[in-house]
Amino acid sequence: MTRNDGYVMDVAYPPHFHKEIQPVWLTSLVQFLGSAAPDISKPYSYCELGCGMGINLLIAAITNPQGQFVGVDANDKALHIARSAAAAMDVKNIRFVQADFAQFTQSNNLFFDFIVSHGVWSWIAESQQKSILQLVAKSLKPKGLFYLHYMCHPGATQMMPVQKLLNDLARQLPGSSEQKLQAALDFVCELDVAGTFIDQPNLSEKIKSLKQKPASYLAHDFLTDHWTPQHSTDVHQSVAQAGVTYLGSANAFDNLDSLSVPGAVQPLLAKLASPALRETVKDLAKNQHQRSDLFQRAPVRLNQQDVLQQVDALRFQLMPQAPRSGALSFQTPIGEIQGPGDIFSPLLEKLAERPATFAELRQLPAFTEKLGTLSQALQMLMWQGHIHPQRPDGLSCTEQVNKLKAWIERSQLKLNVVEDCGTAIHQPTGNS
């Protein structure tokens, strides 16, 4: 079998690490968004749907010893790699389950503080999507978080006919999914050279960029009958039936409307009473092609004083490759944004000395009576990968982390583990 309900089965999905699905990142953003998050200083449970080779779960489990982690995937090749890695590193707080989402939903009797799904929803059959929501309805704890990544309009719309062509071509070609994808893509590139997309220059550029990506990744991305971008309002309506409420994005930048939405659009956005309509307009304004949405079961919305109290406790750490002072330039989906030195230099210089809490950082003269500015600046630095919140439990896991670092090096993954933050960061381009 090469496909199962939209899932390519004859090739493992190549490993990709996403900081946005890690527990420390998720709980920190929820606190910035004004809700009470799951307490990860105490034991908690976490489930990833579509875990692939398990890179995200392995890093999460080893660097977050308070958590119990479950990964679910239908691909036995991917899970063999994940299980072998967990066994080699003697990871005790992780378990991998081979099942599709319908099977897992039916058999699972555990309850989770986190359910996450990245790179799955828009590629699978509607029946499997419904199974994900059934699991959320059945197994997500009160205050539990559901992270859902999916393709959306209008940014992904233009690729729909290209995906259709690649998928239909691949059906008629011999070989593995990788071989079929490569041959189909070669033909589409010939069409591009012949001028087929001359009236769609953006599409032509996107097709050229596909040639730079691994065929194994593209096979999973394009060889499915269920490749479907959706409007965020439609997804939110479906997910609401699982008894969860939309909080915001796991992408820190997307939560900062004053920065992520063009200035002229912001007053028009403020006129819309409907949160769903606001999200639709934001997607249009940013030509959004994918979303990483955060939902919560029975959210506890906090007043301003309680929000400040919980954010005050967040402790931030400067990442090794981050600048130590000065103004910054942020390359964003809506263009370049300049980060003034009088805002960012004090933060970078303070964090270059040692990690510091929000409460300590707001004592800096630059942020007296400017809590909103400090909050935005920290979230921009998080989004850019310059800083990261630390784990609240303070537990040491150095011995296990050393095993993880050695495994990452052997696997030639371009990642650096950050133990105190319960995560990893991508190595800068050109770093070995």
- Please choose, from the candidates 26, 241, 232, the residue with its C-alpha nearest in 3D space to the C-alpha of residue 122: 232
Q: Which of 297, 328, 347 is the last residue of a domain?
A: 297
Q: Does some domain include residue 209?
A: yes
Cβ-based neighbours of 188, under 8 Å, separated by 6 or more = 162, 165, 166, 169, 207
Beta-sheet strands, E only, within 250-381: 290-297, 315-318, 328-332, 335-339, 356-357
- 3-state class (DSSP) for residue 187: helix
For residue 131, what are its two tokens?
């199974």
Task: For residue 90, give the CATH number of its domain.
Answer: 3.40.50.150
Q: CB atoms < 10 A from the CB of 270, how many?
A: 10
Entry pTM: 0.96
Cβ-based neighbours of 234, under 8 Å, separated by 6 or more = none
Task: For residue 370, give the CATH number of its domain.
Answer: 3.90.930
Q: Does some domain include residue 31?
A: yes
Q: Please report, in tens digits, the pLDDT of each residue of the chain (432 residues total).
A: 345 566 687 877 778 999 999 999 999 999 999 999 999 999 999 999 999 999 999 999 999 999 999 999 999 999 999 999 999 999 999 999 999 999 999 999 999 999 999 999 999 999 999 999 999 999 999 999 999 999 999 999 999 999 999 999 999 999 999 999 999 999 999 999 999 999 988 899 999 999 999 998 899 899 999 999 999 999 999 999 999 999 999 999 999 999 999 999 999 999 999 999 999 999 999 999 999 999 999 999 999 999 999 999 999 999 999 999 999 999 998 899 999 999 999 999 999 999 999 999 999 999 998 999 999 999 999 999 999 999 999 999 999 999 999 999 999 999 999 999 999 999 886 433
Q: Does some domain include residue 192?
A: yes
424, 418 Cβ separation under 8 angstroms: yes
What radius of gyration do the chain's Cα atoms show?
A: 22
Domain assignment of residue 140, given as a range: 3-154+229-297
Does residue 216 sit in the same domain as residue 97?
Answer: no
| Angle made by CA atoms 126, 131, 137, in degrees to the nearest 5 | 130
Q: Does some domain include residue 127?
A: yes
